[in-house]
Structure 1
Amino acid sequence: MLKRTIKTFVSRLLNPAQRARPDGPRRYERQEHGIDRRLVSRHAVKVCEVLSQHGYEAYVVGGAVRDLIVGLEPKDFDVATNATPEQIRALFRRARIIGRRFRLVHVVFGQEIIETSTFRADDSGKQTDEHGRILRDNEFGTLQDDAARRDFTLNALYYDPLSETVIDYHNGVADLKERLVRIIGDPETRYREDPVRMLRAVRFAAKLDASIEAKTHEPIKRLSRLIENVPESRLCDETLKLLNCGHAMDCIRRLQDEGLHNKLLPMIEPLQRLPHGEAFLDMALARTDSRVRAGKSVSPSFIYACLLWKLVQKDWLLRCDKGEHPQQALLEAADMVIESQTRVMPIQKRYQSDMREIWFMQPRFERVANRAIWRMTEQPRFRAAVDFLQLRAEAKEVDSVLAQWWMDLANAGDDERSEMIAVRKPAGATAAPRSGQRRNRRRRSNAKRTQQAGGIEA
C-alpha cells in the first residue's frame, strides 16, 4: 500500500497534467508545454509586452496556443487582457474597437491583425433568446472568469510569451495530449448559448484526429436544428473554417453523421447521388486539404465552385441537349444552381461572382482563338480557372493534355507565353460538355447550304 502511494505521488510530481490545485490553475513551463517562442507572432508578443509594461495582464490565447502545443502552425494569434477596449486602443497607434455583442480591439501591424479582447465575465444572467442563445454580452471579468467562458478545454489555454508559461484552468493540456474534445460546463446549456459550438466540436475533432468526449457528444444530434437560428454571416465564416481546416472531407462526413450539414452544405447529398459526384468532391477536397497542410492559401470561391460544379454541369448538359448554345446554357445553369443553393446555404455575393468566372472560363479553354488568349490571361480568376480545369482533367471531363498546356501557360513568363501561343493549333468548334451534348452545327450547315446553292444562302 505504501509503495503504491509513493508511486502515485511520484507520478503526479513528474506529470504536470495531474498536479491539480483545487484553488487555482495548472502552470506549465516551457519544457512541459513544448511551445517554441520563435513560432509565436512577433506582433502578438509586442502586444503582450506593451500591455505588460503598462501594468496589465496579457496572454496569447485560444487556437494559437492549442496549435502550437500539438505542433501545428497557427493561422492567426489572439490576445486576452484585463485592459478595457479603450485602454488597449490608447496604447497602440493603429487600433480600432469593433463588435456589438462583445467589444474587442483590432491592433493592426501591416497585413497582420492581432485581435485583442478583454477578459469576459461569468455568463450567468446574460440576455438570451427563447432557445438559450446569448444575445448581449458586454461585461468584463477576471482571467478565471474568461477561462470558464471559453467553449472547449483545449481552447481555454493562456500563453505568456514573456515568462513562456501556459496557464490551464480546465485540464486542456491533458485533453490535447489525449486527443479529446471536451466542452467546459454543461454541454446542452453551452450549445444552446451558441449552437456554432457544435460545429466547432466537429471541426476540432477532425483537425486534431481526436474524439469528442461522451457527454460533449451526446446532445449534438438532438440539438442540431438549433443551427437554423444562427445568423448567416456566422454560418458562412464557420463553413469556410470547416472547409479550410485541412481535413474537409472528414469534417463533412462527421457533419452528416451528426445531422449538421443541411444548413451549411445542402448540396452534399444531391451531389453524392450524381454519377461521379462523390468522386469529384473527394478529389476537390483532397487538393484543398493538401494545399492547406502545405501552408498555401485556398480561395473560398474555388472551394464553392468545386462543391457546386457537378450540379451546374448536370443542368448544363440538359440545356445543351435541348439545343441551347453551350455558353448561354452554362450561364443559365450557374444562375439556377446558385439561386437554389443560396436559399439555404450562405454564400457571399463576392464569392458568387468569382465562382461564375471560374465556370464560364471552362468552355473557353477548349475553343478560344489564339488572339484572345492574352485577354483570358488578364482575367482576375484566370489562375483559379486553370486549377479548376486541372481538376476536371483529373476527373476525365476534359483532355489532360489540354489542361496541362493551360497550366504551363499560366506558369510561363510573357516571352514563353508568346512562343506557346504562336505555335498553338487553331481552336476548334465551340466546346461543350462531353457526355450527351448535341454540338451546335448551325454555322456549318448554313455554310454547306450556301456552297450547294452556288454562293447564295438557301
Structure 2
Amino acid sequence: MPPDQDTANLAPEPSLRIIPRDQHCVSRKDISSSALRVLYRLRDAGFAGYLVGGAVRDLLVGGHPKDFDVATDATPEQVKQLFRNCRLIGRRFRLAHVVFGREIIEVATFRANTDDGSGDREVEGGRLVRDNVYGSIEEDAIRRDFTANALYYSIEDFSVRDYTGGYDDVANRLMRLIGDPETRYREDPVRMLRAVRLAAKLGFGIEAATAEPIGRLAPLIADSAPARLFEECLKLFLSGHAVESFLGLERHGLLPVLLPETAAALASNRSGALRNVLLAGFRNTDERVANDEPVSPAFLFALLLWPAYCRALYQLQSQGMHAVEAQRRAADRVTVHQLDTVALPRRFSLPMQEIWLLQSRFGSRQRKRMFKLLGHPRFRAAFDFLSLRLAGSDEHAADVAFWREAQLDPANVIAAQAEAAASRDEEADEEPRRRRRRRRRKP
C-alpha cells in the first residue's frame, strides 16, 4: 500500500466543533490589520479564508502572535491574481506570500490528505518531500501536525472551528499529534523538535502517545536538511524559551542527535560545570529576548558548542599539542563535525570561533596586548562569554573583575597594572644585589 494511502487510513476522521464568539477570547483587535485585509479580500472574491495555526492557538492562551497565517480554498495562482503585492514560493509546499511593508502574511491553500493523481505529492521512505495536493478544510485540518495548530478563526461569524479536538487540548495545555504519532514523525522527523519547542514556548505538556516514539525515532532527525535544522535551532534557543527547550531536548533524547559532540561532552563532565554554563547562557538569552535586546546566532552557537570545544581542546592538549595550536585545531574540529548535522553559516561560525579563541587572552596583563584585546571587534562578546563561565567555576573571577573595570576606565587600570609590573621588575632587579657579608679572615 502506498505511504500516502497508509497515512490516510491512520488519520482520524474530522469532526467539526464550532466555538462561537462569546465562548472564546480571540478578538479582531488582536489580529494584524494586514491579515484582516487578506481575509476580507478573499471573502469578497468568493473564496473561503481563515486565520489558522499558531496565531489562533497563541491568541487563545493570551499570547501576542508575531506571524499571522491564512488558509483558503483559493489556489496560490488565484491568490496572486488578487494581490499585486504577492509572490509565490516553495517547492515542497507551494505558498503565497502577501507582502505589506516588513510584514508578510503567508497564505496556504487547503491541502488534501490523499493524492487522487490530480496534484503534486511525493513520498520517499515514508517521508513527505512534496505536498501540493489541494482539498477541503476538513482534509486540511487532519493534514496539520498538532491539534493545537489545527484551529481556524472565521471572519464570517468570528467563531473558532475545531476539527481535531485542538480547542480542548489548548485549554488543557497539551501538545498532541494528529493521527498516528510514529507515522507523522517518519513523515517529517523535525516534528519531534517542533513538539519540544512548542511545548517550551507555550508551557504545554506533550501528550503521552505523542511523546513515546520520540526517543526511538530521534536518529531520523540526522537525515533532515542541515539548513532546516539550523533554522530550527534558532527557533528553539532565540525565541525566549531557551532553558525549557534545552531541558525538553534532554528529556526526550534529542540532544545527542542535534548536538552530538556537545551531548557527549556533557555526559563526560561529572562536575556538571559545563551544563551549568549552558543553562546560565540560556537564562541570559531568554532575559535579552524578553527585554527586546539583540541576540546573536554566533554567540548562541559559541555557547551550544562550548562543551564540545572544551572536550576537544583537552584531548589535543593531553596529546602534547601546544596550547595555541590546540585551541585552533579544537575550534576547527568541532565546527566541521557539527556541520554534518546543522548548517552553520561562516558569518556565524567564524565569530563563534573568535569568541572561543579570545578566552585564553584574558589572562594577559601586558600593556600592548591589553589595548589590543580591548580594541578587538569581538571583545565584548568574548568578555560576556567569560562572565558566563563563572556559572561553572570561579576560576576566572579575577579576570572578569579586572576586565570589567578596564572597560570603564582603561587608561587608569592599565596604568595601575603597568605600575605594579614595574614595581615587581624593580624588586627582581634588586634581588641579585643583595649579597652575603664577606667574612673577615682570621689574623
Q: TM-score, normalised by structure 1?
A: 0.75
Please point out which of 52, 72, 92 is paired with 1:81.
72
Alpha carbons of structure 1 residues 32 and 384: separation in structure 2 relative to 1, 3 Å:
farther
Conserved 8 A contact 1:370-1:421? no
Does 1:324 find its partner at 2:322? yes
Q: What's the Cα RMSD here?
A: 3.4
Tell me, in whole angstroms, the C-alpha distance in 2 between the residues paired with 1:348 and 1:371.
30
Does 1:160 find its partner at 2:125? no
> How far off is 1:192 after superposition?
1.9
Alpha carbons of structure 1 residues 213 and 325: separation in structure 2 relative to 1, 3 Å:
closer
Alpha carbons of structure 1 residues 90 and 365: separation in structure 2 relative to 1, 3 Å:
farther
Please point out which of 187, 192, 212 is paired with 1:198.
192
Q: Which residue matches 1:234?
A: 228
Q: Secondary structure at the match of 2:414?
A: coil
Tell me, in whole angstroms, the C-alpha distance in 2 between the residues paired with 1:221 and 1:124.
31
User: 1:176-215 residue pairs with structure 2 within 5 A?
Assistant: 176-215=170-209
> How far off is 1:195 after superposition?
1.6
Q: Secondary structure at the match of 1:137?
A: strand
Tell me, in whole angstroms, the C-alpha distance in 1 between the residues paired with 2:383 and 2:251.
34
Q: Which residue matches 1:28?
A: 19
CA-to-aligned-CA distance 1:209-263 (integer Å, 9 cap, x gap): 3332233233333333322332222222223322235443433343334333222
Alpha carbons of structure 1 residues 281 and 374: separation in structure 2 relative to 1, 3 Å:
closer
Please point out which of 204, 213, 217 is paired with 1:223.
217
Tell me, in whole angstroms, the C-alpha distance in 2 between the residues paired with 1:65 and 1:296.
27
Tell me, in whole angstroms, the C-alpha distance in 2 between the residues paired with 1:244 and 1:92.
33
Question: Letter of the aligned partner of 1:53 in structure 2?
Answer: D
Conserved 8 A contact 1:389-1:403? no
CA-to-aligned-CA distance 1:90-113 (integer Å, 9 cap, x gap): 333433211111211222233322
> How far off is 1:155 after superposition?
0.4
Conserved 8 A contact 2:276-2:391? no
Tell me, in whole angstroms, the C-alpha distance in 2 between the residues paired with 1:206 and 1:194.
20
Does 1:273 find its partner at 2:260? no
CA-to-aligned-CA distance 1:385-441 (integer Å, 9 cap, x gap): 3432332345435333235347xx5xxxxxxx7xx3443425979xxxxxxxxxxxx
Alpha carbons of structure 1 residues 347 and 38: separation in structure 2 relative to 1, 3 Å:
same
Q: Which residue matches 2:142?
A: 148
Q: Which residue matches 2:401?
A: 401
Conserved 8 A contact 1:49-1:162? no
Q: TM-score, normalised by structure 2?
A: 0.78
Alpha carbons of structure 1 residues 70 and 331: separation in structure 2 relative to 1, 3 Å:
same
Tell me, in whole angstroms, the C-alpha distance in 2 between the residues paired with 1:301 and 1:349.
10
Tell me, in whole angstroms, the C-alpha distance in 2 between the residues paired with 1:375 and 1:191.
49
Tell me, in whole angstroms, the C-alpha distance in 2 between the residues paired with 1:197 and 1:23.
21
Tell me, in whole angstroms, the C-alpha distance in 1 between the residues paired with 2:287 and 2:155.
31
> How far off is 1:204 after superposition?
2.6
Higher relative contact order (CA 8 A, sep 6+): 2
Q: Which residue matches 1:355?
A: 352
Which piece of structure 1 moves more, 89-98 or 22-31?
Answer: 22-31
Question: Letter of the aligned partner of 1:238 in structure 2?
Answer: E
> How far off is 1:115 after superposition?
1.9
> How far off is 1:70 after superposition?
1.1
Conserved 8 A contact 1:366-1:428? no
Conserved 8 A contact 1:152-1:184? yes
Question: Letter of the aligned partner of 1:116 in structure 2?
Answer: V
Tell me, in whole angstroms, the C-alpha distance in 1 between the residues paired with 2:18 and 2:157.
11
Q: Which residue matches 1:412?
A: none
Tell me, in whole angstroms, the C-alpha distance in 1 between the residues paired with 2:188 and 2:157.
34
CA-to-aligned-CA distance 1:332-362 (integer Å, 9 cap, x gap): 3311221233334443333212312333444
Tell me, in whole angstroms, the C-alpha distance in 2 between the residues paired with 1:297 and 1:58.
35
Please point out which of 140, 165, 169 is paired with 2:163.
169
Conserved 8 A contact 1:153-1:181? yes
Conserved 8 A contact 1:107-1:116? yes
Tell me, in whole angstroms, the C-alpha distance in 1 between the residues paired with 2:370 and 2:84.
52
> How far off is 1:305 after superposition?
0.5
Alpha carbons of structure 1 residues 428 and 56: separation in structure 2 relative to 1, 3 Å:
farther
Tell me, in whole angstroms, the C-alpha distance in 1 between the residues paired with 2:308 and 2:212.
34
Alpha carbons of structure 1 residues 218 and 73: separation in structure 2 relative to 1, 3 Å:
same
Please point out which of 292, 299, 303 is paired with 2:300.
303
Alpha carbons of structure 1 residues 388 and 32: separation in structure 2 relative to 1, 3 Å:
farther
Please point out which of 414, 421, 425 is paired with 1:425.
414
Question: Letter of the aligned partner of 1:244 in structure 2?
Answer: L
Q: Which residue matches 1:128?
A: 123
Tell me, in whole angstroms, the C-alpha distance in 2 between the residues paired with 1:54 and 1:397.
68
Conserved 8 A contact 2:265-2:311? no
Question: Letter of the aligned partner of 1:324 in structure 2?
Answer: H
> How far off is 1:149 after superposition?
0.8
Q: Which residue matches 2:339?
A: 342
> How far off is 1:124 after superposition?
5.1
Q: Secondary structure at the match of 1:347?
A: coil
Q: Secondary structure at the match of 2:308?
A: helix
> How far off is 1:147 after superposition?
0.9
Conserved 8 A contact 2:222-2:258? no
Alpha carbons of structure 1 residues 425 and 225: separation in structure 2 relative to 1, 3 Å:
closer
Q: Secondary structure at the match of 1:144?
A: helix
Unaligned 5+ segments in structure 2 are: 1-12, 419-424, 433-443
> How far off is 1:374 after superposition?
7.3
Query: Number of residues paired by the alignment?
Result: 397
> How far off is 1:81 after superposition?
1.8
Tell me, in whole angstroms, the C-alpha distance in 2 between the residues paired with 1:310 and 1:155.
35
Alpha carbons of structure 1 residues 268 and 295: separation in structure 2 relative to 1, 3 Å:
farther
Tell me, in whole angstroms, the C-alpha distance in 2 between the residues paired with 1:361 and 1:261.
27
Does 1:110 find its partner at 2:130? no
Tell me, in whole angstroms, the C-alpha distance in 2 between the residues paired with 1:385 and 1:371.
15
CA-to-aligned-CA distance 1:360-399 (integer Å, 9 cap, x gap): 44445554656547743xx3x5553343233234543533
Question: Letter of the aligned partner of 1:401 in structure 2?
Answer: A
Conserved 8 A contact 1:203-1:245? no
Please point out which of 260, 283, 287 is paired with 2:284.
287
